[in-house]
Structure 1
Amino acid sequence: MKKRLMIAVLAAATCTLPVQAEPATANAFPKIVPVLTGSPVEGFTIGRGTTAYSSSIDGSIYKVDLRSGEGAVLVEPEDNFNVETDCYKLGMRVDPRSNYLYAAGCYWGNAWVFDAETGEEVTTIQLSPFGEVINDIAITREAVYFTNFSAPFIYRLPLSRNGQLIEGEGALPIPMVGDDEENTPFTANGIVATPKGDALIIGDSVTAQIYRVDPLTGHSDRVAVEPPLTGFIDGIVMHERTLYILTPANPGDPDDIDRIQVVSLDKALLQGRLVGYITDPDNLDGVASGAILGDSLYVNNAHYTTYPEPDTPYELTKLKLKEVEPLP
């Protein structure tokens, strides 16, 4: 569940396919890219080339070019959307082989598959019962994985070699179980996969812990990070053995700001070092999801503390991966 859903209860990433290379005209790319006005953002991903996608809890998906800033609605919002109670789409990822766009279905317990070019719905997949929040997605060469914020499960949807769905193959629920409770994530949110797809890194939003999870068995081990991570862990992006962990500001703490916690992992993915933060107070407000293009990390701004109105603007922010503020 991303932070907006968590606030409501209390008062909803990266695939292993190669990171896209940014074109040589990178300096021409705008730092701020507007997305759909009036649609509270949650999921974000980058597809083929410079094409990106922003999802909203209202069910819409907005397709935008990161270089030109030009965009259009790919998937329309759901009819009669109620911002107080409804949630239709959270995390997203694109498989560039098939150009399928996968979107997590929030508390409907499902996932959507769309043609990333046309927006045509390919299929929907029921993963868990209604009321359990399907949250985020990672894609490997062999499968798509989904996290569940409401129960310690991941879901594995097998793919063919060219990234196509396999007829007759459904999603397999896999319980995440560690050697003890400390090694089991219960409120899973962001998820990424290693380049070979042999391990998943999953964040637990409530405990601010990350876990190394076996994608076939679900066996999980807590990754020991020093100094410890803090805040509400939302989306996670991975490049080589570095994690970029999106952490929106805590509305109750005026000294807490939106930040990307940068963690360097060891080869076994069981030890991590928090090396610093990427921040931009003027241009970050409720970071929820992100993806890498070239040497930049793009994140969306959910504006969690701003009540969504039809004219509320939402946008993406471009951050430089190298601009990490070291720890004191």
Structure 2
Amino acid sequence: MRRSTVSSAAAVLALTLLPGVSPTTAGAAPPGDRPFPSRIELPDGFQPEGIALGPGPTAWFGSRVDGDIYEVSLRTGEGTVISQGPGTPSVGMKSDRQGRLFVAGGTSGTARVVDTETGDVLLDQALTTGTSFVNDVVLTRGAAWFTDSSKAQLYRLDREPGGAPAAAVTTVPLTGEWVQGTGFGANGISTTPTGRALLVVNSTTGLLYRVDPATGEATEVDLGGASLTAGDGMLRHGRTLYVVRNRLNEIAVIELSPTGRSGRLVRTITAGDLDPSTSFDVPTTVARFGSHLYLPNARFSTPPTPTTDYWVTKVRARAGD
């Protein structure tokens, strides 16, 4: 259900003005309202997919229904819609330090850039035409890179020296060892630890690829036989790569070589690692704040309605150690 946007401090102040109400009893926060809650409620019927975070304990989520952008305080769990969507999906997202949110547009074939302070759309850029699913995005110094799950290609949206988007798009076909297969192809995207190449997961084949951003040549990353089927959003923290395996309700934790040409599965975060107050229900993407990961639950297996519950799950980044 939808959480109230009234802060607990304001509620206590209001209650002290009522006769016979003690601020001590009225202000006692229930376990679910402790700072940095383990479960954060999203608006009913929101249908989340992507998450972007920070700097600071602020996160943004995109709706698959209409593209609305919802801002949440990780400290309190309270949130509000800061930008009305265009009526098409908001899927993978990344934010920069200047308060710009880069949003993959799913079936619209577009990328949007949103000012998180004002909610204004700074850029609404077509990346491709025809059937497409622009799924995820990663930011590098000179560009925002988007995957397309329907086509064996990436899209480079140029960024100016200060990080602002430029209306210049380059389509980079995936070549080399890339195997598109049937079903969803390229999904989550990240960078290698050196930052010199891209990492892209194929959801259907379960293979992870290192991609040369200059040529699009893809080389399979040697994972020692580990599979990443159902691989969705990815997050790299140093040499650790977190890969969300959506319908398996787990996170694969990969320790990468510096070049990203190889890696090994070091642990898997599952529902057993969660706080008892929360759960996974088809998590899709992941962001990290401090020692915790945050994942929106898309609930793909649950028929969506305007009153369907959606939430964000917090889990320790080193769960399972």
Q: Is TM-score (shorter-chain normalized) higher than 0.5? A: yes
CA distance in 2, matches of 1:206, 1:99: 34
Distance 1:56 1:117, change over 3 A: same
Give per-residue Cα distances to partners, 1:145-199, cap 9 Å, x unaligned: 0001111111111212221124xx4111111111x45599981000012355311
1:208 Cα offset (Å):
0.6
Larger radius of gyration: 2
CA distance in 1, matches of 2:315, 2:178: 36
Task: Name the SS of the counterpart of 2:285 in structure 1.
Answer: strand
Residue 275 of structure 2 corresponds to residue 284 of structure 1? no
Q: Does structure 2 conserve the Cα–Cα contact (< 8 Å) formed by 1:229 and 1:261? A: no
CA distance in 1, matches of 2:165, 2:178: 35
Residue 58 of structure 2 corresponds to residue 60 of structure 1? no
Residue 87 of structure 2 corresponds to residue 72 of structure 1? no
Distance 1:233 1:239, change over 3 A: same
CA distance in 2, matches of 1:277, 1:155: 31
1:267 Cα offset (Å):
2.2
Percentage identity across aligned positions?
35
2:241 alignment partner, one of 237, 240, 243: 243
1:77 Cα offset (Å):
4.7
1:48 Cα offset (Å):
2.5
CA distance in 2, matches of 1:112, 1:235: 18
Extract unaligned runs of 5+ from structure 2. Answer: 1-33, 273-277
Distance 1:131 1:170, change over 3 A: same
Deviation larger for 190-199 or 297-306 = 190-199
1:223 alignment partner, one of 221, 224, 231: 221
TM-score, normalization by structure 2: 0.82
Residue type of the alignment partner of 1:242: T
CA distance in 1, matches of 2:244, 2:307: 26
Q: Does structure 1 conserve the Cα–Cα contact (< 8 Å) formed by 2:188 and 2:200? A: yes
Q: Map 1:289-308 to 2 at 5 A.
A: 289-308=285-304
Q: Map 1:1-328 to 2 at 5 A.
A: 28-58=35-65, 59-78=67-86, 88-96=89-97, 98-166=98-166, 169-178=167-176, 180-181=177-178, 187-194=185-192, 197-249=195-247, 257-280=248-271, 283-324=279-320
Extract unaligned runs of 5+ from structure 1. Answer: 1-26, 80-86, 250-256
Tell me which residue corresponds to 1:7. none
1:74 Cα offset (Å):
1.5
Q: Does structure 1 conserve the Cα–Cα contact (< 8 Å) formed by 2:250 and 2:270? A: yes
CA distance in 1, matches of 2:43, 2:112: 20
**What is the RMSD computed on CA atoms of the aligned residues?**
2.1
Q: Does structure 1 conserve the Cα–Cα contact (< 8 Å) formed by 2:178 and 2:219? A: no
Distance 1:292 1:324, change over 3 A: same
